[in-house]
Structures are given as structure tokens and as C-alpha cells.
Amino acid sequence: MISNRITEIFGVDHPIVQGGMQWVGRAELVAPIAEAGALGMITALTQPTPADLRTEIARCRDMTDKPFGVNLTVLPSIRPMPHREYAETIVDCGIKVVETAGSNPEPFMDLFNEAGVKVIHKCTSVRHAVKAQQVGVAAVSVDGFECAGHPGEDDVTNLVLIPAARDALEIPIIASGGIGDGRGLAAALMLGAEGVNMGTRFMCTAEAPIHENVKQAMVDATELETDLILRTLRNTARVAKNSVSQEVVRILDEGGQFEDVRELVAGARGRTVYETGDVEAGIWTAGLVVGLINDIPTVHQLVTRMVSEAEQLIARAGAMVSVVA
């Protein structure tokens, strides 16, 4: 058993977190993650309205009595979202763990603090992590360049980013990006993190609510099969490489602007990928860790073997060390 501040603060058995994933962070994935002793996160904005989020939280509670949280991502979008209403719904439903991402969580901290909600803020740089600590979050999820979704614009990998953040912070760090097995968990702990955050690896599990074709595409992929899109707009996103992502890269590299790729990157097209299994239908998110995914286990199998492998690796490393006085 790996116990530390992450397991203690968030009331879970294992320091493994499922990050927010648009269209994927639903009750049918979150509940088995909670049952496996990790921390699952319902993705708030996957639900069309705050009322729908309330229903989804209730649905998850019907499936598990273990702790789970809600991800609230605040980013500019084609359709403006009532983020404050989503936050108020989270509190009204008695959720005690929130993962915030995208923007500074400070506008929501009064609401969350008053309700005793513990906040994990997702950061892509040390400076953002330091700011999050200053506004009072309980922990930060530090995303390296390897991660799916938005890795920021600094292009720093976790091998440097995690220890740099550890040197600058007092609160616990959750390492995110490039982690999909016990080796990644053990390495993150050695670098100074106290937990790991996984998205892509949890997408490729039996319970994930996406088409089997998408899961198989991840199994078949190598670490070279992602694209960084929207780089020229300084809104970088790492996604699975396909004909659509390549077209987006080409248009922007040739001087195009967001309006020229708006329809190509529309979230509705990504949802179509997950629902129909047509991996060329739109942009869909995947991290470099696809190169380490070789199977489609159940959530319980994944979490159990990750923890077991990490414990064995840490013990083996300790046995290899001889301290000479």
C-alpha cells in the first residue's frame, strides 16, 4: 500500500487520479475507478447544463459509495458556459473534491472553501503551481509536455517539471502526462510527486464509455502518433494523430487563423469519434502514453497492477542501494 498526503487528504486507497476528460468522464468510468480505490472525476462540462451535472452525480452515487470528485475546466469556448452555476451545483450536491483547470481557480475558492471542498488545480508550469498554492488549493496536478489536452506553451517534460515544482511548493503534487503503468507511478514518486493523474490510460479500459475502435487505435498506436495542434495560436493541444489533426496543423502552419480550423476542431466532432468509432471523424485527445498502452483491462485490473508494480519497483530500487557511512 502506498500511503501519503494524497491518499490521506482525498480519502482514497491509492494515489491515482483520473483527470477530467470531455465526453469521457462519466459515471460509468468514474464509479469503477472509485471502487478500485483511486480518485475518479466526473467532467462537469460534458454535461450540457448544471441540472444535467446534478443528475450525473446522482447516477454515480448510485454506483459507488466511495469518494469521487468533479472536474471544472474554465477555458474560452465557442459556446459560453455558466461556470459559476456548475460550481454552485457541485457544492449543492455535496461533492468534496474538485479538479479545476484552464484558468486561475481564485474566483471559485470562496465558494469551495465555505463548503469544505478540497481543490486540485491542474497546472502546466511551476509559476502557475506557485500561484495556485497562494490562492489556497489543497494540491496541484502538474502537467508535463507529454500530457494529452493542453500542455501549455513551455514544453517542459515531467522529468524536469515535477522536481522543479517540488522545490518550489509545500503542498502535494500529482504528476500528470506520460503515465500509464507502475513504472510511471514509481518514477513520479521518486521525482517528488505524491500521486499520478491519468487520462489517456483510463480511456483505454473496459469501462470507458467510448467505442472499442478508439480503444484499439490506442493499443495499436506508438508514441509517435500524436499531434500538437493550435501551436501558432498559443493554445497548444496534444491530440491523436489523424487526417483531421494533420489538416489543422497544415492550415495553421501556412498562416491560417482559428476561423479557418474552427469546424475541424469542434468538440462535437470529437464526440462523434467516441460514439461511432470512426477515428478520422474529428479531433480526439490522446497523450504520448499511447505508446505504452498494450491492452484494454478493467479499471480494477489496471489500478491493482499499477500499484503492485510500483511497490515492487520501489522495493527493488531500495534493495539495490547500499549506504556507506
Per-residue pLDDT of the chain (325 residues; tens, 9 = 90+): 899 999 999 999 999 999 999 999 999 999 999 999 999 999 999 999 999 999 999 999 999 999 999 999 998 776 788 999 999 999 999 999 999 999 999 999 999 999 999 999 999 999 999 999 999 999 999 999 999 999 999 999 999 999 999 999 999 999 999 999 999 999 999 999 999 999 999 999 999 999 999 999 999 999 999 999 999 999 999 999 999 999 999 999 999 999 999 999 999 999 999 999 999 999 999 999 999 999 999 999 999 999 999 999 999 998 888 776 6
| Terminal alpha carbon distance of the chain | 30
Count of beta carbons in the 10 Å neighbourhood of residue 1:
8
Residue with cell 478540497: 118
- Cβ contact 33:63 at 8 Å: no
- DSSP letter string over 230-256? SGGGT--EEEE-SHHHHHHHHHHHTT-
- Give the closest residue to 146 by CA, choosing from 197, 105, 74: 197
Residue ranges and CATH numbers for the domains of the chain are: 5-208+299-315 (3.20.20.70), 222-285 (no CATH)
- Comparing CA positions, the residue from 70, 90, 72 lying closest to residue 81 is 72
Extract the C-alpha cell encoding 320.
Answer: 539495490
Angle between helices 27-35 and 50-63 (to 10 degrees): 40
The model carries a pTM of: 0.96
